[in-house]
Structure 1
Amino acid sequence: MSEQNSAARRGVPETLECVLAAETSLRSRMRYLAAGLAGGCAAVLIAVLWVTEPQPLPARTQVAFAGLIAIGLAWAGFAGWVLSRRRPLFARDRVLGALIAFAATVATSAGGTALAVARGTMVEALVAALVSVALVTAAGFALVRARSRRRELLRRRDALQQEAD
């Protein structure tokens, strides 16, 4: 609350103040906590399954497990980074989150499509490819939108700095 009062005293417009308050709100931080816990728990669960397998797994399964563990750890690390910051990130967190989502979507879509092509019929492979294209497109759109939002916040910040000078 004191940050908002000091921002009002310095003449920060209410719209920017609301945007920055939303970025540091409890609801936002809880979403990052949930994402981090989900990623960390998934990584640990897959690692435990991998380590406790009685027989060596095929190489492609080991690669898949390693990739899924990396994705889970990326989400957990990302959430830890965001939660350790006490100031507005000017949507840098959204860009990084969208980048992780895009990379994870591309990797899992490529793996799923390759698996469908290798094991399924032509119809299954086509369905997997279409779903993959839709998911990668959605993740790409989220990344473009996050970058646009960051640029807008930085423009607002720079305009305010120029007004203050």
Structure 2
Amino acid sequence: MRRVSRGLLAAGIAGFTGSALIATLWATEPGRLPTRTAWAFAGLIFVGLAWAALAAWTAWKRPLFADDRVIAGWLAVVFTTATTLVTAVVAGPLVAGPGLLMITAAVIVLVRARAYRDRLRSQVAALERQRGQ
């Protein structure tokens, strides 16, 4: 098994634990949950399992050229955007400010991850050209 970054490992463990706790809470509710609450629980379970799946995939499959960082960046962008949009719809656009800051941070993470991956790929291409000469 390959070394996984501490941040991704923490996100995977937290995602799995959070999903398990929410699923347990949902399963032990005595009655039927309101529709919006059920959708919120399902969404949170999905988000947590997605982070856990990424951490597990990274640990076992050894992705090349920092693809795991790019995927994590995309997950961050998609999930923060979705959360911010839902918050804006449910609570009003004025409370979406922190979400917009989180989206900005997620986009920065994604841009940096793509730049790092591209730098690694160009170094490999340069080494292959050098080897071919």
Same fold, TM-score > 0.5, yes or no? yes
Structure 1 partner of 2:101 = 134
Q: Distance in 2 between matches of 1:105 and 1:31?
A: 17
1:30 deviates by: 4.1
Unaligned segments of structure 2, at least 5 residues? none
How many residue pairs were aligned? 131
**What value does the CA root-mean-square deviation take over the aligned residues?**
1.6
Q: Distance in 2 between matches of 1:140 and 1:53?
A: 37
Q: 1:32–1:83: 8 Å Cα contact kept in structure 2?
A: no
- Matching of residue 105 in structure 1 with residue 80 in structure 2: yes
Structure 2 partner of 1:90 = 65
Query: Any idea what SS the aligned residue of 2:83 has?
Result: helix
- Matching of residue 54 in structure 1 with residue 21 in structure 2: no
Query: How far does the alpha carbon of each residue in 1:43-102 deviate from its partner, in whole angstroms, 9 at most, with x for none?
Result: 11111111111111111111111110000000010001000034x621101000111111
Structure label with greater radius of gyration: 1
Structure 2 partner of 1:14 = none
Equivalent AA in structure 2 for residue 105 of structure 1: T
TM-score normalized by structure 2? 0.89
Q: Distance in 2 between matches of 1:90 and 1:142?
A: 16
- Matching of residue 64 in structure 1 with residue 31 in structure 2: no
- The percent identity for this pair of structures is 44
TM-score normalized by structure 1? 0.73
Unaligned segments of structure 1, at least 5 residues? 1-23, 118-124
